[in-house]
Protein backbone atom coordinates (compact mmCIF):
# COMPACT_ATOMS: atom_id res chain seq x y z
CA UNK A 1 0.00 0.00 0.00
CA UNK A 2 2.84 2.33 0.89
CA UNK A 3 4.54 1.57 -2.46
CA UNK A 4 1.37 2.59 -4.37
CA UNK A 5 1.28 5.85 -2.47
CA UNK A 6 4.88 6.64 -3.38
CA UNK A 7 4.27 5.85 -7.05
CA UNK A 8 1.19 8.04 -7.05
CA UNK A 9 3.18 10.89 -5.58
CA UNK A 10 5.90 10.50 -8.21
CA UNK A 11 3.33 10.46 -11.02
CA UNK A 12 1.62 13.55 -9.61
CA UNK A 13 4.98 15.26 -9.23
CA UNK A 14 5.86 14.55 -12.87
CA UNK A 15 2.47 15.77 -14.00
CA UNK A 16 2.80 18.92 -11.96
CA UNK A 17 6.30 19.51 -13.35
CA UNK A 18 5.03 19.12 -16.90
CA UNK A 19 2.05 21.27 -16.09
CA UNK A 20 4.23 24.05 -14.67
CA UNK A 21 6.20 24.36 -17.87
CA UNK A 22 3.05 24.30 -19.94
CA UNK A 23 1.31 26.95 -17.89
CA UNK A 24 4.31 29.21 -17.09
CA UNK A 25 3.57 32.83 -17.77
CA UNK A 26 5.55 33.89 -20.84
CA UNK A 27 7.81 36.88 -20.45
CA UNK A 28 6.43 39.72 -22.51
CA UNK A 29 8.95 41.71 -24.51
CA UNK A 30 9.44 45.15 -23.03
CA UNK A 31 8.20 47.99 -25.23
CA UNK A 32 10.71 50.45 -26.57
CA UNK A 33 11.15 53.55 -24.45
CA UNK A 34 10.78 57.11 -25.66
CA UNK A 35 13.95 59.18 -25.38
CA UNK A 36 14.53 62.92 -25.75
CA UNK A 37 18.13 64.14 -25.76
CA UNK A 38 18.30 67.83 -24.89
CA UNK A 39 20.86 70.25 -26.33
CA UNK A 40 21.75 73.86 -25.54
CA UNK A 41 23.92 76.62 -26.98
CA UNK A 42 25.89 78.69 -24.49
CA UNK A 43 28.77 81.15 -24.38
CA UNK A 44 30.55 80.28 -21.18
CA UNK A 45 27.87 80.41 -18.54
CA UNK A 46 25.38 82.42 -20.61
CA UNK A 47 22.68 80.95 -22.81
CA UNK A 48 23.30 82.02 -26.40
CA UNK A 49 20.13 83.21 -28.09
CA UNK A 50 18.88 85.93 -30.38
CA UNK A 51 18.44 89.41 -28.87
CA UNK A 52 21.20 88.97 -26.32
CA UNK A 53 24.80 90.17 -26.31
CA UNK A 54 27.38 87.44 -25.91
CA UNK A 55 30.29 88.85 -23.92
CA UNK A 56 34.04 88.33 -24.20
CA UNK A 57 34.41 85.89 -27.09
CA UNK A 58 37.75 84.95 -28.61
CA UNK A 59 41.28 86.20 -28.06
CA UNK A 60 40.26 89.86 -27.78
CA UNK A 61 37.18 89.28 -25.64
CA UNK A 62 34.91 90.64 -28.35
CA UNK A 63 31.21 90.89 -27.59
CA UNK A 64 28.83 89.73 -30.32
CA UNK A 65 25.22 89.03 -31.18
CA UNK A 66 23.94 85.76 -32.56
CA UNK A 67 23.05 85.76 -36.28
CA UNK A 68 22.54 82.04 -36.98
CA UNK A 69 23.10 78.81 -35.09
CA UNK A 70 22.05 75.54 -36.72
CA UNK A 71 23.77 72.19 -37.01
CA UNK A 72 23.18 68.62 -38.14
CA UNK A 73 23.86 65.62 -35.91
CA UNK A 74 23.52 61.93 -36.72
CA UNK A 75 24.11 58.39 -35.44
CA UNK A 76 22.78 59.23 -31.99
CA UNK A 77 23.36 56.25 -29.71
CA UNK A 78 22.77 55.47 -26.05
CA UNK A 79 25.50 53.62 -24.16
CA UNK A 80 24.58 50.87 -21.71
CA UNK A 81 26.50 49.78 -18.62
CA UNK A 82 28.51 47.30 -20.71
CA UNK A 83 29.74 50.11 -22.93
CA UNK A 84 27.61 48.93 -25.84
CA UNK A 85 26.20 51.63 -28.10
CA UNK A 86 22.49 51.25 -28.91
CA UNK A 87 21.14 53.33 -31.82
CA UNK A 88 18.32 55.75 -31.07
CA UNK A 89 15.61 55.27 -33.71
CA UNK A 90 14.73 58.84 -34.52
CA UNK A 91 11.13 60.01 -34.69
CA UNK A 92 10.58 61.13 -38.27
CA UNK A 93 9.45 64.74 -38.37
CA UNK A 94 10.38 68.11 -39.82
CA UNK A 95 13.64 68.20 -37.83
CA UNK A 96 14.60 64.54 -38.21
CA UNK A 97 14.98 62.31 -41.27
CA UNK A 98 16.32 58.77 -41.14
CA UNK A 99 19.27 59.00 -38.71
CA UNK A 100 19.88 62.75 -39.10
CA UNK A 101 18.55 65.57 -36.94
CA UNK A 102 18.92 69.32 -37.22
CA UNK A 103 19.36 71.43 -34.09
CA UNK A 104 18.25 75.05 -34.36
CA UNK A 105 19.14 77.57 -31.64
CA UNK A 106 17.88 80.75 -33.31
CA UNK A 107 14.35 81.97 -33.91
CA UNK A 108 14.77 84.71 -36.53
CA UNK A 109 14.40 87.57 -34.07
CA UNK A 110 16.84 90.37 -33.38
CA UNK A 111 19.92 89.93 -35.59
CA UNK A 112 19.07 86.30 -36.39
CA UNK A 113 18.32 85.40 -39.99
CA UNK A 114 17.34 81.72 -39.88
CA UNK A 115 13.90 80.29 -39.23
CA UNK A 116 11.34 81.09 -36.55
CA UNK A 117 11.20 77.55 -35.20
CA UNK A 118 13.62 76.38 -32.54
CA UNK A 119 14.67 72.78 -32.10
CA UNK A 120 16.87 71.92 -29.15
CA UNK A 121 16.27 68.20 -28.79
CA UNK A 122 16.53 64.91 -30.62
CA UNK A 123 13.69 62.47 -30.01
CA UNK A 124 13.29 58.78 -30.71
CA UNK A 125 12.93 55.34 -29.20
CA UNK A 126 15.39 52.82 -27.83
CA UNK A 127 15.03 49.29 -26.47
CA UNK A 128 13.93 49.22 -22.86
CA UNK A 129 16.88 49.34 -20.50
CA UNK A 130 19.17 51.52 -18.49
CA UNK A 131 21.67 53.70 -20.28
CA UNK A 132 24.62 55.52 -18.82
CA UNK A 133 26.17 57.36 -21.77
CA UNK A 134 25.62 59.00 -25.14
CA UNK A 135 27.42 59.25 -28.46
CA UNK A 136 26.65 61.08 -31.68
CA UNK A 137 28.35 62.73 -34.63
CA UNK A 138 28.17 66.32 -35.81
CA UNK A 139 27.48 66.53 -39.53
CA UNK A 140 25.34 64.94 -42.21
CA UNK A 141 26.37 61.44 -43.30
CA UNK A 142 26.92 60.54 -46.94
CA UNK A 143 24.17 57.91 -46.82
CA UNK A 144 21.71 56.15 -44.51
CA UNK A 145 19.33 53.22 -44.91
CA UNK A 146 15.58 53.82 -45.07
CA UNK A 147 12.91 51.58 -43.51
CA UNK A 148 13.12 49.21 -46.48
CA UNK A 149 16.86 48.89 -46.14
CA UNK A 150 17.54 50.95 -49.24
CA UNK A 151 20.56 53.22 -49.09
CA UNK A 152 19.64 56.89 -49.40
CA UNK A 153 22.08 59.64 -50.33
CA UNK A 154 22.01 62.44 -47.75
CA UNK A 155 24.88 64.93 -47.55
CA UNK A 156 25.22 65.49 -51.28
CA UNK A 157 21.57 65.01 -52.17
CA UNK A 158 19.58 67.63 -54.02
CA UNK A 159 17.98 69.98 -51.48
CA UNK A 160 14.93 70.13 -53.77
CA UNK A 161 14.47 66.35 -53.68
CA UNK A 162 14.84 65.32 -50.03
CA UNK A 163 12.59 65.72 -46.98
CA UNK A 164 13.12 68.22 -44.19
CA UNK A 165 15.49 69.00 -42.55
CA UNK A 166 17.88 68.29 -45.43
CA UNK A 167 15.86 70.50 -47.77
CA UNK A 168 16.92 73.77 -46.13
CA UNK A 169 18.50 75.86 -48.86
CA UNK A 170 20.37 78.04 -46.36
CA UNK A 171 22.28 74.99 -45.15
CA UNK A 172 23.22 73.90 -48.66
CA UNK A 173 26.87 74.43 -49.45
CA UNK A 174 27.14 75.38 -53.08
CA UNK A 175 30.92 75.44 -53.31
CA UNK A 176 31.18 71.88 -51.95
CA UNK A 177 27.82 70.58 -53.25
CA UNK A 178 26.90 69.27 -49.80
CA UNK A 179 25.51 70.54 -46.52
CA UNK A 180 26.88 72.94 -43.97
CA UNK A 181 27.13 70.66 -40.95
CA UNK A 182 27.40 73.66 -38.62
CA UNK A 183 26.21 77.15 -39.49
CA UNK A 184 27.22 79.51 -36.74
CA UNK A 185 27.18 83.21 -37.54
CA UNK A 186 27.79 86.22 -35.34
CA UNK A 187 27.74 89.99 -35.53
CA UNK A 188 30.82 90.99 -33.52
CA UNK A 189 30.71 94.35 -31.78
CA UNK A 190 33.14 96.10 -34.15
CA UNK A 191 32.78 99.23 -36.32
CA UNK A 192 30.61 98.78 -39.41
CA UNK A 193 32.41 98.48 -42.76
CA UNK A 194 31.06 100.70 -45.52
CA UNK A 195 28.01 101.28 -43.39
CA UNK A 196 27.27 97.54 -43.07
CA UNK A 197 27.25 95.41 -39.93
CA UNK A 198 30.14 92.95 -39.91
CA UNK A 199 29.11 89.31 -40.23
CA UNK A 200 31.43 86.63 -38.85
CA UNK A 201 30.95 83.05 -40.05
CA UNK A 202 31.82 79.57 -38.94
CA UNK A 203 30.66 76.99 -41.47
CA UNK A 204 31.75 73.39 -40.95
CA UNK A 205 31.30 70.90 -43.76
CA UNK A 206 33.12 68.37 -45.90
CA UNK A 207 35.70 69.87 -48.25
CA UNK A 208 37.77 68.66 -51.17
CA UNK A 209 34.66 67.01 -52.62
CA UNK A 210 34.50 65.59 -56.14
CA UNK A 211 31.49 64.16 -57.93
CA UNK A 212 31.50 60.56 -59.13
CA UNK A 213 32.01 60.31 -62.87
CA UNK A 214 28.87 58.14 -63.28
CA UNK A 215 26.49 59.15 -60.48
CA UNK A 216 26.43 62.91 -59.97
CA UNK A 217 24.89 62.45 -56.50
CA UNK A 218 27.86 60.45 -55.25
CA UNK A 219 30.80 62.44 -53.98
CA UNK A 220 34.11 61.66 -52.38
CA UNK A 221 35.65 64.25 -50.07
CA UNK A 222 39.28 64.51 -49.02
CA UNK A 223 38.24 66.22 -45.75
CA UNK A 224 35.06 64.62 -44.32
CA UNK A 225 35.05 66.95 -41.27
CA UNK A 226 32.62 64.73 -39.35
CA UNK A 227 33.05 65.25 -35.62
CA UNK A 228 32.40 62.27 -33.30
CA UNK A 229 31.43 62.89 -29.68
CA UNK A 230 31.14 60.39 -26.88
CA UNK A 231 30.09 60.93 -23.27
CA UNK A 232 30.68 57.80 -21.21
CA UNK A 233 28.62 59.34 -18.40
CA UNK A 234 25.32 60.93 -19.43
CA UNK A 235 21.91 60.77 -17.76
CA UNK A 236 19.39 61.57 -20.45
CA UNK A 237 16.70 62.33 -17.87
CA UNK A 238 18.75 64.89 -15.97
CA UNK A 239 21.45 66.19 -18.29
CA UNK A 240 21.86 67.90 -21.64
CA UNK A 241 24.63 68.45 -24.16
CA UNK A 242 25.98 72.00 -24.45
CA UNK A 243 27.80 73.53 -27.41
CA UNK A 244 29.99 76.17 -25.78
CA UNK A 245 30.81 79.08 -28.10
CA UNK A 246 33.44 80.41 -25.69
CA UNK A 247 35.38 77.16 -26.00
CA UNK A 248 34.81 76.88 -29.75
CA UNK A 249 36.18 80.39 -30.34
CA UNK A 250 38.96 80.30 -27.78
CA UNK A 251 42.07 81.91 -29.28
CA UNK A 252 40.21 83.32 -32.30
CA UNK A 253 40.21 87.06 -32.97
CA UNK A 254 36.65 88.10 -33.83
CA UNK A 255 37.55 91.78 -34.10
CA UNK A 256 39.34 91.40 -37.43
CA UNK A 257 39.85 88.81 -40.15
CA UNK A 258 43.31 87.36 -40.71
CA UNK A 259 42.59 86.18 -44.25
CA UNK A 260 40.39 83.96 -46.39
CA UNK A 261 36.67 84.00 -45.72
CA UNK A 262 35.39 86.26 -42.94
CA UNK A 263 35.72 83.86 -40.06
CA UNK A 264 36.15 80.21 -41.01
CA UNK A 265 34.39 78.26 -43.76
CA UNK A 266 36.47 75.10 -43.31
CA UNK A 267 39.03 76.28 -45.84
CA UNK A 268 42.33 74.39 -45.30
CA UNK A 269 44.36 77.61 -45.63
CA UNK A 270 42.06 79.92 -43.68
CA UNK A 271 43.97 81.27 -40.64
CA UNK A 272 40.95 81.26 -38.33
CA UNK A 273 40.16 77.64 -39.18
CA UNK A 274 43.42 76.36 -37.74
CA UNK A 275 42.48 77.45 -34.21
CA UNK A 276 38.82 76.48 -34.45
CA UNK A 277 39.58 73.00 -35.81
CA UNK A 278 42.14 72.56 -33.06
CA UNK A 279 39.48 73.48 -30.50
CA UNK A 280 37.17 70.91 -32.10
CA UNK A 281 39.91 68.26 -32.09
CA UNK A 282 39.69 67.92 -35.87
CA UNK A 283 42.62 67.83 -38.28
CA UNK A 284 42.24 70.78 -40.65
CA UNK A 285 45.11 69.41 -42.74
CA UNK A 286 47.28 66.34 -42.61
CA UNK A 287 49.02 66.04 -39.25
CA UNK A 288 52.14 64.93 -41.15
CA UNK A 289 52.92 64.43 -44.81
CA UNK A 290 51.32 61.25 -46.10
CA UNK A 291 49.14 60.64 -43.00
CA UNK A 292 45.94 61.20 -45.01
CA UNK A 293 44.12 62.30 -41.86
CA UNK A 294 42.97 65.73 -43.02
CA UNK A 295 39.38 66.29 -41.95
CA UNK A 296 39.50 63.35 -39.53
CA UNK A 297 39.11 63.60 -35.76
CA UNK A 298 42.25 63.55 -33.67
CA UNK A 299 40.63 61.43 -30.97
CA UNK A 300 37.58 59.28 -30.35
CA UNK A 301 35.35 62.13 -29.17
CA UNK A 302 35.66 61.36 -25.46
CA UNK A 303 37.43 64.56 -24.49
CA UNK A 304 35.75 67.42 -26.33
CA UNK A 305 36.46 70.92 -25.04
CA UNK A 306 33.60 72.40 -27.06
CA UNK A 307 30.72 70.00 -26.41
CA UNK A 308 30.02 69.41 -22.73
CA UNK A 309 27.43 67.84 -20.45
CA UNK A 310 25.55 69.75 -17.77
CA UNK A 311 22.39 69.45 -15.71
CA UNK A 312 19.21 70.63 -17.43
**pLDDT score recorded for residue 22:** 52
**pLDDT score recorded for residue 82:** 96
Closest CA to 99 of 112, 87, 84: 87
The answer, yes or no, to whether residue 1 has pLDDT greater than 50, is no
Q: Are strands 200-204 and 263-264 parallel, antiparallel or unpaired?
A: parallel
Residue extents of the structural domains in the chain: 32-311
pTM over 0.85: yes
Q: Taking residues 146-151, what's their average pLDDT?
A: 93
**How do residues 157-168 score in pLDDT, each as one tens digit?**
888 889 999 999
Amino acid sequence: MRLYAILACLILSACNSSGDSATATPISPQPDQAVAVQFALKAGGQTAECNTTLPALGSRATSAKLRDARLYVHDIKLINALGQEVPLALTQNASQYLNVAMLDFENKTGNCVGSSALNQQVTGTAPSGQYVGLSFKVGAPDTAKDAAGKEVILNHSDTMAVPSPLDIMALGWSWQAGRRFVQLELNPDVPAVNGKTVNWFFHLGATGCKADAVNANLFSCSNPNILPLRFASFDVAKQRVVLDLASLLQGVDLSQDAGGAMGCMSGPTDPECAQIFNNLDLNLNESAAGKKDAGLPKGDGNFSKVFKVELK
